[in-house]
Amino acid sequence: MLPLLPMALVLSLWVRRGGGVCAPDCSGVESGTSVRDPTDCTRYYVCLDLGDGEPLPSEYPVECPSGQYFNDAHTVPRCDPISGAPQGFCSNLCNPCKPHCIADGGVTPHPTDCSTYYVCLQEGIMEVGCESNLPFFDYMTGECSDDPTLCFAYCDPCIPHCTAANERVPDPIDCHQFYVCNPPEVVSFLCPHNEIFNRDSGECEANAPCVIDCPDTTDMPLF
């Protein structure tokens, strides 16, 4: 991750919207239009105008039928068979659990904390908290607000997020395991000799730190 920068720099920043966000984009489309899930090429969201003229994405993505991907190259986007898909059909994916910076001065939401956002700078990123009177960061406008329904809610730390072919990503539940990606496919591997998957090197190592993003709750009692 990029380094956090001193808070004193906030005073001299020119902040603008559109630093980047890994979320469905309904801007400029008609109500009822389907748009791609930027994290998974086999899913899509449905945009709906709720009365203010600005369509919002459905709360949850829709899965294409098994063996199909979402093809937004059509005039009316739809799911098509993967068997006939062009090369690179499942590219340009993003990880919603990482901050996304595409321009200096842009802002991007904190993946899991709605009271915080990041300012993108050439030197790195700077974490900034919303004021108490406007405690929630609206990821669509890039501004703090008093509406908790506008929070960024696309990061699930319990799901491995693949973005590119041959990428290795950690298992969020077991630090001895990792995944090799070939989107939309993902294959699980277990490190040998009880080694731990090193997130920095992408290799199995004996003395790597064990990081658990999502504790396994399989054996926990249900209430």
pLDDT reported for residue 64: 98
Contact of 140 with 109, CB cutoff 8 Å: no
What pLDDT is recorded for position 185? 94
Do 181 and 202 share a domain, yes or no? yes
pLDDT of 80 above 70: yes
Q: Is residue 104 part of a domain?
A: yes
Q: Are residues 160 and 145 in the same domain?
A: no
Which of 23-32, 99-108, 126-135 has the least mean pLDDT?
Answer: 99-108
Same domain, 145 and 161: no
CATH of the domain at 142: 2.170.140
Q: Domains in the chain: how many in total?
A: 3
**pLDDT for residue 16:** 43
Find the domain containing 78 and state its range: 34-84
Q: Which amino acid is at 212?
A: I
pLDDT at site 15 = 41
- Same domain (yes/no): 80, 102: no
Q: In Å, how far from its chain's centre is CA 16?
A: 21
pLDDT score for 215: 78
pLDDT, mean of residues 215-222: 55
Question: pLDDT digit string (tens) for 114-150?
Answer: 999 999 988 889 999 999 999 999 998 999 999 999 8
Domain contains 25: no
Residues 164 and 204 in one domain: yes
Question: What is the C-alpha to C-alpha distance for residues 213 and 223, in angstroms, rounded to an integer?
Answer: 23
Q: Which of 57 and 104 is assigned the larger pLDDT?
A: 57
Dist. CA 148–CA 222, nearest whole Å = 29
Q: Are strands 40-48 and 62-63 parallel, antiparallel or unpaired?
A: antiparallel
pLDDT at 144: 97
